[in-house]
Amino acid sequence: MKKIINQPENVVDEMLKGIVAAHPSYVKRVEGFEILVRANSPQPKVALVSGGGSGHEPSHGGFVGKGMLDGAVAGAVFTSPTPDQVFEAVKAVNGGKGVLLVVKNYTGDIMNFEMAAEMAAEEGIQVEHVVVNDDVAVEDSTWTTGRRGIAGTVLVHKIAGAKAEAGGDLQEVKRVAEKVITNVKSMGMALTTCTVPAAGKPSFVLPENEVEIGMGIHGEPGTHREVIRSANEIVDHLLDKILADLNLAGGDEVAVLVNGLGGTPIMELYIANLRVASVLEEKGVTIAKTYVGNYMTSLDMEGFSISVLKLDAELKGLLLAAADTPGLVQN
C-alpha cells in the first residue's frame, strides 16, 4: 500500500487540522471532537449539520460555509460518527432557530444521528432530520435498508443551505430538503476499489478488464461486474437507470453532477459529462447547472457517479443562489 500519511490511526485528526490550516476564514474545529463548523458559528438562522465516515472528501467538511452547511461531523474512515459527536456539532452551530440534520441512508448514520437529535431535544434544541436515498442501483445493500445515499447529498446541502441562508424556518428548510431528495437520482461505477488506510489493502479486487456497476461509496458491491466498455456506453447504462426513476419530459430542467470517486482524472469526468449533456439534449431536457469534479469520493477509487436533479422554479432559484465553501466549485 502506498499512502501519503503518517500513522493510519491519525489520518482523520490530521486531515481536519490540515483543512483548518488551509481555510481558517471558512472553518474552525470544535475542540476535542472531529467536527468542523463555520468560522463564525453560530449564526442566527436555521443551521445545517451533515457528516458520516471520513474518506469521502471534500464531503462533508469541504461544504461548510455560506449557503451550505454550518457543521460537518467526521467519523473514522467509512464509519459513522458517534451520537456524542453529532450532538456536539448541533450545540456548536445552534443559533436558536433550530438545526436540520442531513443524513445519508446508512444504518449506522441514521441510528447515531437520530440518537443525537433526541439528546438535543432534551436540551431544548429544536432538531429535524432528513434521509438522502438517491442511489438507484440497488434497493438494499451491505449497510442499508432501502436505497443508499450518495453524491446527490451534495445537492441537498446546496439547496437546503440556500433556503436556510435566505431565512427559511426549520420546517421550510426541511420541506425543501425533502423535495430535493424526492427529485434527485444517482448511480455510479468503479474501475478499481479503494484502500482504507487502517486495512492496508484493497477492499476487493477487480480484474484488469472488468468494472463494477452500481457500487456504493464504501466499496459495497453493485448490481454486477462486466467487461469495461466505452465511456458513452457506461454513461448510457447509468443514465437509463436514473432517468427511468425521474420520468423527465421535453422542456424539463435539471441539474447534473458528474462526481469523481477520488482516483479519476478530471479529463475522464468531462468526457462522461459530454455524453450526459448529449443524451439530455436529445430528450429535450435543459441543463440549468452542471457540476463536474470530486464532490463525494471514495478514497482513491477510480470511477464516477452521475446525479440528475429535476428542478422546478423554487429548486432552481435556490440551486443558483450564492454559496462559498472550500469544496464548492462555482461556474
pLDDT in tens, 62-86: 999 999 999 999 999 999 999 999 9
According to CATH, where is 3.40.50.10440 located in the chain? Answer: 8-182
pLDDT in tens, 119-177: 999 999 999 999 999 999 988 766 677 899 999 999 999 999 999 999 999 999 999 99
pLDDT in tens, 281-296: 999 999 999 999 999 9
Which numeric CATH code is attached to 8-182?
3.40.50.10440
pLDDT in tens, 84-118: 999 999 999 999 999 999 999 999 999 999 999 99
Instruction: State the average pLDDT over residues 13-33.
Output: 98
Would you say residue 240 has pLDDT above 50? yes
Q: Tell me which residues are annotated as active site.
A: 56, 218
Q: At 292, phi and psi to the nearest 5?
A: -130, 125
Rounded distance, CA 166 to CA 279, Å? 34
Instruction: Please tell me the predicted confidence (pLDDT) of residue 65.
Output: 98
Mean pLDDT of the chain: 95
Which numeric CATH code is attached to 184-319?
3.30.1180.20
Confidence of residue 198 (pLDDT cuts 50, 70, 90): confident
Would you say residue 330 has pLDDT above 60? no
Helices in 38-151 by DSSP H: which ranges? 83-93, 107-122
pTM, full prediction? 0.96
According to CATH, where is 3.30.1180.20 located in the chain? Answer: 184-319
pLDDT in tens, 293-317: 999 999 999 999 999 999 999 999 9
Instruction: Please tell me the predicted confidence (pLDDT) of residue 331.
Output: 41
**Residue 246 is which amino acid?**
L
